Chains A and B, each alone.
Chain A
Amino acid sequence: MSIGYIGLNHFLVVSAGMFGIGVYGLLAKRNAISLLMAVELMFNAANIALVAFARFGYHSAQPLAGDAFALFVITIAAAEVAVAIAILLLVYRLRGTVWVDEIDLMRW
Chain B
Amino acid sequence: MSNALVFTLAFYVLAIATLVSGLLVVTLRNIVHAAIALIATFFFVAWLYLLLNADLLWVAQLLIYAGAIPVLIVFAVMLTRRSMSDTSNAESGNVLWAAVIAASVFGLLIAVMMPAAWHVGNYPSGLAGTTAVIGRELVNHYAVPFEVVSVLLLVGLIGAVVLARREGE
Chain A interface residues toward B at CB < 8 A: 1, 3-6, 8-31, 33-34, 36-38, 40-41, 44, 47-48, 51-60, 62-65, 67-68, 70-72, 74-83, 85-90, 92, 97-101
Contacts and interface: CB of A to CB of B under 8 A. Distances in A.
Given A81-B72, A88-B76, 19 more contacts: A14-B15, A21-B26, A24-B98, A29-B92, A31-B83, A34-B26, A34-B31, A36-B73, A37-B73, A40-B38, A47-B45, A51-B57, A53-B119, A55-B123, A58-B121, A71-B60, A77-B65, A86-B164, A89-B80
A71 B46 CA distance: 12
B80 A92 contact: yes
A30 B92 contact: yes
A80 B34 CA distance: 20
A97 to B, nearest CB: 8
Given A25-B25, A29-B89, A52-B52, A17 B79 contact: no
B7 A37 contact: no
Interface of B: 2-5, 7-8, 11, 15, 18-19, 22-23, 25-26, 31, 34-35, 38, 41-42, 45, 48-49, 51-54, 56-57, 60-61, 64-65, 68-69, 72-73, 75-77, 79-80, 82-83, 88-95, 97-99, 101-103, 105-106, 109-110, 113-114, 118-124, 130, 133-134, 137-138, 141-142, 145, 149, 152-153, 155-156, 159-160, 163-164
A13 B52 contact: no
B19 A21 contact: yes
B4 to A, nearest CB: 3
A58 B53 CA distance: 12
**Closest CB pairs A-B (n = 9):** A4-B4, A20-B106, A79-B156, A27-B98, A25-B26, A58-B121, A24-B102, A28-B98, A86-B163
The interface residues of chain B, by DSSP majority, are classed as: helix
Contact of B73 (A48, A70, A81): A81
B89 to A, nearest CB: 5
A23 B98 contact: yes
A6 B5 CA distance: 9
